[in-house]
Structure 1
Amino acid sequence: MQKKPSHSYPRRPGPPQQVRIIGGDWKRTPLPVLDAFGLRPTPDRVRETVFNWINHQMDADWNQADVLDLFAGSGALGFEAASRGARSVTMVDTVGPVVRQLEQIKDKLKADKVKVLRADALAVARDLAQRGQRFDVIFLDPPYQQDFLSQALPLCAALLKEGGLVYAESGERLPFPEQQGDDMPDEVPEWLQGWELVRGDKAGMVYFHLLKLD
């Protein structure tokens, strides 16, 4: 039997890390980062930029926004959305210690509009689509170099409300022809077809993109 892929987070050396919520009701609240390889919370300055992009697209109307954070990790993206008033935030991760930490943070913040699921992100995406659930914003920040983004993004097409947005973070630039770089293709790969790049940028080794359906 073929082993089922998993976005696991083996331990990493070094002291514990933390990030901070940068806006909304819980502004400056620290979020601990689990001591694990592969768990890379979106840096504060990247989140600030991304949420500015999203605010511009949806006129900062978070009160009516339903949010899905498919590879939640530290919860930095999902809790940021909740802090800004999102109507609902569903966080998904498959790693037990990560999920327990997300639950602890949720309880500490009394984040009643946040739901935390321990489950396979791709399976959850398929299930939610079949049940007809739709979201205004979907965050995709999977472990790098495991090909999760190319599997998850096509599933998001059935999960977005009209005008919805997907934030996608990766270790390399998404291959849209309009992005700068000698290695950018003339045509997008199949898993990117149907998507439009709204904004894209790089910070250090992190490439981050805001997408919507064509």
Structure 2
Amino acid sequence: MRRPRHGTSGHDNRQGKSRSGGGRLRLIGGRFRRRLLPVLDHPGLRPTPDRMRETLFNWLALEIDSRTRALDLFAGTGALGLETLSRGAGEVHFVEADRQVARQIAQNLETLEVTMPVHHQSADAFLSTRPVQPFELVFLDPPFRQALIDDCCQRLETEGWLADNALIHVETEADLIPRLPASWRLIRETRAGDSHARLYRRESAQ
């Protein structure tokens, strides 16, 4: 049974149990393929189906390279950001409000011998800062049924966070239709269980 989502986000793909009692995250492609990393047994981490994650990165196969700057805004276990690094992204920022969960992401990056920014703050606080450089790829998987997605999308669009032609992955509860910026064009979508994943491309102004 899935644990309901509350204060934190997901990307939690558990493959058995670790010795500490939590789960394990298996990276599915790229240079860290098949690496198993511990994840916390923590309230609010929602499992993202393996099939959905594999589908997403099949969509992104030709979109990620060493020039890609990615943002995992509600990082949870960090699975999507870590997978993006494994696929060759040059930079990934992880944003996670829960201190323990953010610490585990940082520890997993150390295990992989990768140095990347882990921001221990809420998505709202992060988006209140000034972007240093826009992102080419953004993952949005906020806690379900907390009405967070619409505001995040509008702020990403209007406050300089997105590069021209950026890709934005939005995962919501299946019955939610988010209100998104007019410049975002839906290019792919899939469903698994109570999750609906959509991939958008931001169309640059003419």
Bin the TM-score by the shorter chain. 0.7 to 0.9
Is 2:178 the counterpart of 1:146?
no
Amino acid at match of 1:168: V
**Are the equivalent residues in 2 in contact too, given 1:135–1:161 (CA < 8 A)?**
yes
Match of 1:165 in 2: 167
Match of 1:125 in 2: 127
Is 2:48 the counterpart of 1:42?
yes
Match of 1:185 in 2: none
**Are the equivalent residues in 1 in contact too, given 2:64–2:87 (CA < 8 A)?**
no
Q: Please give the root-mean-square deviation of Cα atoms over the aligned residues, in Å.
A: 2.0
Report the secondary structure of 2:66's partner residue: helix
Mapped to 2, the partners of 1:122 and 1:136 lie a distance apart of 20
Shift of 1:132: 4.2
Shift of 1:192: 4.5
Shift of 1:37: 2.7
Which of structures 1 and 2 has the larger relative contact order (alpha carbons within 8 angstroms, sep 6+)? 2
Listed as ranges, the gaps of 5+ residues in structure 2 are: 1-5, 9-16
Mapped to 1, the partners of 2:42 and 2:23 lie a distance apart of 10
Mapped to 2, the partners of 1:61 and 1:82 lie a distance apart of 9
Which of the two has higher C-alpha Rg?
Answer: 1
Mapped to 2, the partners of 1:35 and 1:169 lie a distance apart of 22
Report the secondary structure of 2:117's partner residue: strand
Output aligned runs, 1:42-81, within 5 Å.
Answer: 42-55=48-61, 59-81=62-84
Report the secondary structure of 2:139's partner residue: strand
Distance change >3 Å, CA 72–CA 139, structure 1 → 2: same
Amino acid at match of 2:146: Q
Match of 1:180 in 2: none
**Are the equivalent residues in 1 in contact too, given 2:52–2:190 (CA < 8 A)?**
no
C-alpha distance after superposition, 1:112-137 (max 9, x if no partner): 2x21110111221231xx34420110
Mapped to 1, the partners of 2:131 and 2:189 lie a distance apart of 31
Mapped to 2, the partners of 1:139 and 1:162 lie a distance apart of 16
Listed as ranges, the gaps of 5+ residues in structure 1 are: 1-6, 177-188
TM-score by length of 2: 0.82
Name the % identity: 37
TM-score by length of 1: 0.79
Match of 1:8 in 2: 7
Amino acid at match of 2:193: G
